[in-house]
A = this chain, B = another copy of it.
Amino acid sequence: MKLLQERILKDARIREGGIIKVDSFLNHQMDIPFINEIGREFYRLFKDDNVTKILTVEASGIGIACLTAQYFNVPVVFAKKTQTKNLDPEVYTSKVTSYTHGRDYIIRVFKRYLSDSDRILIIDDFLAKGMAIIGLADIINQAGATLVGAGVCIEKAFQSGGREIRDRGIRLESLAKVDIDENNKIIFR
């Protein structure tokens, strides 16, 4: 998506360890008309897939998912993160390892908000190791729902998540596939 690539070149900042900071427009401060265009693009990509629900994980996926959901006219469900895996029979859970924060956490979704007739699109801001999307896919699988695909704004092409997810047969659409060259500059694949 050209608009996103241009914005990344203009506003992203590179930090040590391959950290790409886009918090001026995507995931701390949010440029709403811009993210609306991202939602429109996700709709263009998935509009023929009879999506009934958008699933994301707190926190930075929520706004993007909500603006995207307007085009599909479907509800958003966001998985909550907790540290503890309590045995609540009303919730689906999956364990996610965060490399950014260096720890495991549990994502939770109330069972009543996913059904086996749902056709679910996962939306998130970033894809690095892909653990959040794999956890969400696990929850969709537990619910017996259909995973239509996953849409992410920025895929870090130099990390393994994209391959992991595609190898599982999940349709993955990344609006920008980002690499960092030897001069610490962003290039697109």
Could you tell me which A residues sit within 8 Å of B by CB distance?
Answer: 23-24, 28-33, 35-36, 58-59, 62-63, 65-67, 69-70, 73-78, 80, 109-110, 112-113
- A18–B144 Cα distance when bound, in Å, is 34
Nearest B residue to A25, CB-CB = B75
Q: Say yes or no: B59 contacts A29, CB within 8 Å.
A: no
Apart from A30-B76, A36-B70, what are 18 other A-B pairs with CB-CB below 8 Å? A23-B110, A24-B112, A28-B78, A28-B80, A28-B113, A29-B77, A29-B110, A30-B77, A30-B78, A31-B75, A32-B69, A32-B70, A33-B70, A33-B73, A35-B66, A59-B78, A62-B62, A67-B67
Q: Say yes or no: A66 contacts B29, CB within 8 Å.
A: no
| Chain B residues, CB < 8 A from A29 | 75-77, 110, 113
Nearest B residue to A66, CB-CB = B63
